[in-house]
Amino acid sequence: MTREELAERAGVSLRTIWSVERGNACRLPTKRKILEALGLSREEHREAFPEG
């Protein structure tokens, strides 16, 4: 999946995806949208977002 596709599926901007990939913080609802778009479970979120 491309960054553009992920952004579209998650309902966030491409800029947000770039920011998160760089390790910048984002809001919990944004994290949830990205996790859902990636098909990750809530348990797997710690691997994707180890800081919380």
Domain that holds residue 27: 3-48
Residue 51 has pLDDT above 70, yes or no: no
Q: What is the dihedral of CA 5, 9, 12, 13, to 10 degrees?
A: 20
Residue 52 has pLDDT above 60, yes or no: no
Mean pLDDT of 28-44: 87
**Contact call for residues 14 and 2 (beta carbons, < 8 A):** no
What is the distance between the alpha carbons of residues 46 and 7, in angstroms, rounded to a whole number?
A: 20
Task: Give buried/exposed letters for 30-50 (b at 16+ CB in 10 A, else e).
Answer: bbebbbebeeeeeeebeeebe
pTM of the model: 0.79
Give the number of domains in the chain: 1
Confidence grade of residue 42 (pLDDT, cut at 50, 70, 90)? confident
